[in-house]
Amino acid sequence: MILDLPRFAAAERVYWHELEALLNRLRLEPGWRMSVPEIERLHYLYERCSADLVRLDAFSTEHQMRAYVESLVSRAYAEIHETRAPAGKIHWGAFIAAFPRAFRRHLGAFRLAVGLTLAGCAFGWFAIRADPEAKAVLMPFAGLMQSPAQRVAQEESAGNAKTDRLHGHKASFSAQLMTHNIQVTVMTLAFGVTWGLGTIILLFYNGVILGAVAADYVGAGYGQFLAGWLLPHGAIEIPAILLGGQAGLVLAGALIGWGERTSRTERLRAVAHDLLAIAAGAAAMLVWAGIVEAFVSQYHQPVLPYSLKIAFGVLELAALSIFLARVGRR
Amino acid sequence: MTPARASALRIETPEGVVFALQLASPVLRALAWAVDALVLAAAATAIGNAARVFAMFGTDWAAALTVFLYFAASMAYAMIFEWYWRGQTLGKRLLGLRVVDAQGLRLRPAQVVLRNLLRAVDFLPAAYLGGVTACLLSRKGQRLGDLAANTVVLREAKLLEPDVEQIAPVKYNSLLAFPHLAARLRSRVDPEAVRIAVAALAQRDGYEPPARVELFGELAAYLRSLVGFPEAAVEGLTDEQYVRSAVRAIYGK
């Protein structure tokens, strides 16, 4: 069977055009709030065009017309069946509170990220203590290849105002640190899509480097220098990378869905906002850490006493802990 | 076993209406990405030029601004465009592609951000190898970022309302004198064949004469094989005239 297509098109064209105009307006003006009569009209037009599509499916051989009505129905479907609230104005209070709330909702994943990093630390520590020659393999970075004594002597002599090696480069150094660390954190999150394997490897490897550096400096008797050097920025930077790992593990958990009865799509949809809140929070922390690393961490005794730097780092860590534990609690 | 890759995403609405959305091929997506890469390269050049102006206020701050702006542009370009243009970057817009929710719903900001954050993994180990592999293995052609954000990339055909009055004009249709046979033709004909016949009629003057004779000969043979009209209805009709009359009969004209 087939429709009398010209007559059918003549009768229905007016509704198709009306629906198309409505959909075009919705596309061009994302902020447009429809009144109740307008919503009712949209619903009516959607149902009418859906019925037309069914008739064209059953009775017509005209592909172009079918494709046209199908495109209208598919576009209207997205508007009619969307039950999630539209993104409106950003409320900064809620936006800031979303980060610690998301962190607390997935505390298990954060603990796992910390555990993996600590396991890496232990591995790096014992590897360096057992075989100091492994340093070149475990942390192949030019800045860490010197002996701790050489590095401390170099840092402390370069740290005064006259021989400031970062003079005229602090801002660009800071920007490079921020962008690099944000990239690392994003990668730690994104590797969650490898069912968590990539995230686990990255967290463990970060731990190995931290443990190896600590073993190297503490073993040589420069524990205070190391704490003064790392804590001012590390108190924020390391937790930020752990948060990236937490987000990666949450993503992996949603993909795997152990013991869950919901579909993968539903699980991913349920955690998407939390992932972004954690990633945005970690990125903001890394901007701060980059500033501190360029403008504070690179200065040592006698310019900045180690005790002051350590106290600053401890204070930052305490403030971060309070923020993550308390803010946004109802 | 990996499920076969579909060329269309079929969605059934609660009202029982089924519609299909055409999925974009990896080649089209790669071309769109190449356009976006060119846009980003142009943005990098513009940022470099702007930094030279800022260098008047201090070279260190200008260098910092360059690093930061380039990083922000490379991270946020796709996110901003896909949100503002509802699933399209400049490259996708040029190639007629659009990112949508895999259930056919509206794209959400969280989905836009997530699929673009995961681009970092799709890019690995080099040149989007991870993303292309995932895309080829996925039934819906999703890269890893699409899988996590529950999105798909569609090919948007430019759909205009058809002008049915322009289909194959004919002065007098002898086949309509036998309505029962015309109805049988309508019920037996393959819609794809009708589409080809309509397209062939619309472009008939563009064919070389031998190709035109051969094409309409084949179409007429197919249509004749479906229903045999009496000699009186088809006497004196060339193959092309027969195809034109048959198409008009199918549309009831």
Reported ipTM: 0.75
Per-residue confidence (pLDDT) for residue A101, from 0 to 100: 93
Residues A251 and A131 reside in one and the same domain: yes
Contact call for A81 and B149, based on CB within 8 A: no
Residue B105 dihedral angles phi and psi, to the nearest 5°:
-85, 175
Distance from CA of B216 to the nearest CA of A (A): 19
Q: Three-state SS for A292?
A: helix
Burial class (CB in 10 A: 0-12, 13-18, 19+), B196: middle
Measured between beta carbons, the chain B residues lying within 8 angstroms of A270 are none
Per-residue confidence (pLDDT) for residue B159, from 0 to 100: 61
Q: Give chain A's domain count.
A: 2
Per-residue confidence (pLDDT) for residue A243, from 0 to 100: 95
Residue A131 belongs to a domain:
yes
Q: Is the pLDDT assigned to residue A323 strictly greater than 60?
A: yes
Of the residues A172, A197, A243, A250, the best mutation for testing chain B's interface (the one with the most B CB atoms within 10 Å of its CB) is A172
Of the residues A48, A55, A59, A62, the best mutation for testing chain B's interface (the one with the most B CB atoms within 10 Å of its CB) is A62
Name which of B211, B184, A1 is nearest B240 in CA terms. B211
Q: Is the pLDDT assigned to residue A318 strictly greater than 80?
A: yes
Contact call for A276 and B110, based on CB within 8 A: yes
The mean predicted confidence, pLDDT, of chain A is 84
Residue A257 belongs to a domain:
yes
Diameter of chain B by CA atoms? 93
Residue A165 belongs to a domain:
yes
Q: What is the mean pLDDT of residues A224-241?
A: 90
What is the pTM for the complete model shown?
0.73
Per-residue confidence (pLDDT) for residue B1, from 0 to 100: 41
Q: Give the burial string for B144-175 (b: 16+ CB within 10 Å, else e).
A: bbbbbbbbbbbbbeeeeebebeebbebeebbb
Name, of A85-89, A316-320, B43-47, the range with top average pLDDT.
Answer: A316-320
Distance from CA of B41 to the nearest CA of A (A): 18
Residues A160 and A262 reside in one and the same domain: yes
Q: Is the pLDDT assigned to residue A235 strictly greater than 70?
A: yes
Compute, in degrees rounded to 10, the torsion defined by CA atoms B181, B185, B186, B192: -170
Given a contact cutoff of 8 angstroms between Cβ atoms, the answer to whether A203 and A188 are in contact is yes
Given a contact cutoff of 8 angstroms between Cβ atoms, the answer to whether B215 and B198 are in contact is no
Q: Residues 137..196 of A with a Cβ closer than 8 Å to B: which?
A: 168-172, 174-176, 178-179, 182-183, 186-187, 189-194
Residue A18 belongs to a domain:
yes
The mean predicted confidence, pLDDT, of chain B is 82
Per-residue confidence band for A92, with pLDDT thresholds at 50, 70 and 90: confident
Q: Is the pLDDT assigned to residue B213 strictly greater than 50?
A: yes
Residue A51 belongs to a domain:
yes
Q: Write the DSSP assignment of B80-95 as a string of letters.
A: HHHHHTTS--HHHHHH
Residues A60 and A133 reside in one and the same domain: no
Question: Omega of the bond prior to A302 within 30 degrees of 0, cis?
Answer: yes
Residues A231 and A178 reside in one and the same domain: yes
Measured between beta carbons, the chain B residues lying within 8 angstroms of A53 are 17, 19
Nearest CB to A2: which of B68, B148, B186?
B186
Where a domain ends, among A30, A59, A80? A80
Per-residue confidence (pLDDT) for residue A167, from 0 to 100: 67
Contact call for A77 and B11, based on CB within 8 A: yes
Whole-angstrom Cα distance, residue A41 to residue A25? 14
Query: What are A267's two structure tokens?
Result: 């699980």
Residue A142 belongs to a domain:
yes
How long a stretch of residues is chain A? 330
Residues 6+ apart with CB under 8 A from A327: A96, A97, A100
Residue B113: closest CA among chain A residues belongs to which residue?
A: A276
Where a domain ends, among A80, A110, A132? A80
Is the pLDDT higher at A296 or at A44?
A44
Residues A259 and A129 reside in one and the same domain: yes
∠ CA A57-A62-A68, rounded to 5°: 80
Per-residue confidence (pLDDT) for residue A126, from 0 to 100: 93
Nearest CB to A272: which of B16, B59, B110?
B110
Per-residue confidence (pLDDT) for residue B32, from 0 to 100: 93
Where a domain ends, among A60, A80, A100? A80
Per-residue confidence (pLDDT) for residue B2, from 0 to 100: 45
Residues A37 and A124 reside in one and the same domain: no
Residues A73 and A118 reside in one and the same domain: no
Residue A86 belongs to a domain:
no
Whole-angstrom Cα distance, residue A111 to residue A103? 11
Per-residue confidence (pLDDT) for residue A258, from 0 to 100: 80
Q: Is the pLDDT assigned to residue B42 strictly greater than 90?
A: yes
Residue A87 belongs to a domain:
no
Q: What is the pLDDT of residues A13-36, one digit of tens each?
A: 899 999 988 888 887 776 678 888
Residues A262 and A206 reside in one and the same domain: yes
Residue A271 identity (one-letter amino acid): V
Residues A127 and A54 reside in one and the same domain: no
Q: What is the mean pLDDT of residues B184-206?
A: 80
Residues A146 and A48 reside in one and the same domain: no
Residue A68 identity (one-letter amino acid): Y
Q: What is the pLDDT of residues B102-151, one digit of tens each?
A: 888 878 888 899 999 888 888 887 777 888 888 888 888 888 899 888 89
Nearest CB to B117: which of A176, A179, A189?
A189
Whole-angstrom Cα distance, residue B98 to residue B90? 11
Task: Identify the weakest region by mean pLDDT among A14-18, A33-37, B161-165, B168-172.
Answer: B161-165
Q: Is the pLDDT assigned to residue A221 strictly greater than 60?
A: yes
Residues A180 and A35 reside in one and the same domain: no
Given a contact cutoff of 8 angstroms between Cβ atoms, the answer to whether B244 and B168 are in contact is yes
Measured between beta carbons, the chain B residues lying within 8 angstroms of A65 are 161-162, 164
Per-residue confidence band for A85, with pLDDT thresholds at 50, 70 and 90: low
Q: Is the pLDDT assigned to residue B249 strictly greater than 90?
A: no
CA B169, B173, B175, B179 torsion-angle sign = positive
Q: For chain B, how big is the Rg over CA atoms in Å?
A: 27
Query: What are A236's two structure tokens?
Result: 């924020």
Of the residues B12, B161, B185, the best mutation for testing chain A's interface (the one with the most A CB atoms within 10 Å of its CB) is B161
Residues A182 and A74 reside in one and the same domain: no
Burial class (CB in 10 A: 0-12, 13-18, 19+), A51: middle
Nearest CB to A171: which of B61, B100, B106?
B61
Domain of residue A66, residue span: 5-80
